[in-house]
A = this chain, B = another copy of it.
Amino acid sequence: MAICRQGAGDRLLFVDMRGNVAITIKDIARQAGVSAATVSKVLNRKDQFISEETREKIWSLARERNYTPNSIARSLVTRSSRVIGIIVPDILNAYFTELVRACDVAARERGYSTILCNSDSDPEKEAAHLTFLASHGVDGIVMAASDLIPDAGLLERLRIPLISMDREIPELDCLAARIDTDYETGAFLSASHLIGAGHKRIAFVSGNPLASNTKIRRAGYERAHREAGLPIDPDLIECGAFNHRFGLMATRTLLDRTSFSAMCCMSDMLAMGATVALRERGLGVPEDCAVMGFDNIYIAPLLVRPLSTVERRISEAGQLAVDALIDFLDDPTQPRRMVLMEPTVILRETT
């Protein structure tokens, strides 16, 4: 925690640059000639019954000696850390980068800090992070879509208020809110746009085929086809993961297997990978193949050929999640929120 050395007596002393012992509430108390309790009250602004004089003295002493409270000790007694944990599959996915940033901003605005964990969509890591966060006393957790159903037993046991983002989750006592995107509609809009533009063979690329958030999107894609009276060809479907590497591989596979004039990618990262694969084969976007993304990550409009995509207001979702969590922490009896965000289509230059 800090570089320390043996003190004059027996106890370990934390020393600063000039060899002074690091400041605790007791030191302030001694110097001010009051008790630790009084210092605590003043510093926590529970000082209605403290004389103006001692108050002043304590504050000036604290400032002068650069007193910083030990949050660890405080958390131990108050059983609250004002920290919230955030678990996402992979912060390298720009969608989650934005989400995490939004959560962090929202949390800080309300006096909370965040601890970030990457799960790599691995349930083991996810469980480890959950335990880690619990053990570090976070007040709440925002958990975003990994592809798999979490260990509900663990979640129940931890009893830490939880916000679940974009994933199915069992009914939990500690569930503070669910923030979801209407994937079915999003995928439906995406496919419908492409169908409306005259495309008949549209590839569908998405994440883990076993995960509900892929199944649901696929349902939207299929509904668009049914409503347009178009057949659904399983050869056009490739599901694996939401990152750009899979987008690249899936597109190569599709290109080898069949033909199509448009792609319905279920994340922008996927769409970026797809675009690279298309170029590899000398196919122009959108002339030879149109590409739709999903998420509207902040780099989507920065691509040389700005990506048409499904907007899902990532930052708003992150903000919503954290606010719901902290509101729940403030008052756990309030009704649980279930938010379903409606996506919209943004047309740029890849379709």
A contacts, CB < 8 Å to B: 1-4, 12, 14-17, 22, 66, 68-73, 75-76, 79-81, 83, 90-92, 94, 97-98, 100-101, 104, 113-118, 131-132, 134-139, 156-161, 173-174, 244, 272-273, 275-276, 279, 285, 298-299, 301-305, 332
Can you list 6 residue pairs at the A/B interface with Cβ under 8 Å?
Answer: A2-B159, A3-B161, A3-B174, A15-B159, A16-B156, A285-B304
Sort A-B residue pairs by CB-CB distance and give the 10 closest, nearest first.
A304-B304, A71-B135, A1-B79, A2-B159, A17-B156, A272-B302, A72-B137, A116-B116, A71-B136, A304-B305
A180: min CB distance to chain B, Å = 24
Contact in complex: B70, A72 (CB < 8 Å): no
A342: min CB distance to chain B, Å = 25
Residue among B75, B80, B91, B137 making CB contact with A97, cutoff 8 Å: B91
Q: A115-B115, A118-B101, A303-B304 are in contact. Are A298 and B92 (CB under 8 A)?
A: yes
Contact in complex: A92, B101 (CB < 8 Å): yes
4 further contact pairs, Cβ within 8 A, besides A16-B157, A72-B76, A279-B304: A4-B79, A17-B159, A72-B81, A90-B101
**Which residues of B have CB within 8 Å of A157?**
16-17, 66
**Which residues of B have CB within 8 Å of A303?**
303-304
**Which residues of B have CB within 8 Å of A272?**
299, 302
Number of copies: 2
A158: min CB distance to chain B, Å = 7
With both beta carbons as reference points, the residue of chain B lying nearest to A305 in the complex is identified as B304
Residue among B72, B92, B136, B159 making CB contact with A16, cutoff 8 Å: B159
Residue among B1, B79, B160 making CB contact with A81, cutoff 8 Å: B1
A216: min CB distance to chain B, Å = 27
**Which residues of B have CB within 8 Å of A80?**
1
**Which residues of B have CB within 8 Å of A332?**
3
A184: min CB distance to chain B, Å = 28
**Which residues of B have CB within 8 Å of A94?**
94, 97, 299
**Cα distance A80–B192 in the bound complex, in angstroms:** 56
Q: A136-B71, A276-B302 are in contact. Are A92 and B81 (CB under 8 A)?
A: no
Residue among B2, B70, B139 making CB contact with A158, cutoff 8 Å: B2
**Which residues of B have CB within 8 Å of A81?**
1, 72
**Cα distance A267–B309 in the bound complex, in angstroms:** 26
**Which residues of B have CB within 8 Å of A83?**
136
**Cα distance A158–B114 in the bound complex, in angstroms:** 21
Contact in complex: A137, B70 (CB < 8 Å): yes
Contact in complex: A2, B71 (CB < 8 Å): no
A134: min CB distance to chain B, Å = 6
Contact in complex: B118, A116 (CB < 8 Å): no
Residue among B22, B68, B139 making CB contact with A1, cutoff 8 Å: B139
With both beta carbons as reference points, the residue of chain B lying nearest to A301 in the complex is identified as B276
Contact in complex: A1, B302 (CB < 8 Å): no
Contact in complex: B279, A302 (CB < 8 Å): no
**Which residues of B have CB within 8 Å of A304?**
275, 279, 285, 303-305
A26: min CB distance to chain B, Å = 15
With both beta carbons as reference points, the residue of chain B lying nearest to A135 in the complex is identified as B71
Contact in complex: A302, B285 (CB < 8 Å): no
**Which residues of B have CB within 8 Å of A101?**
90-92, 118
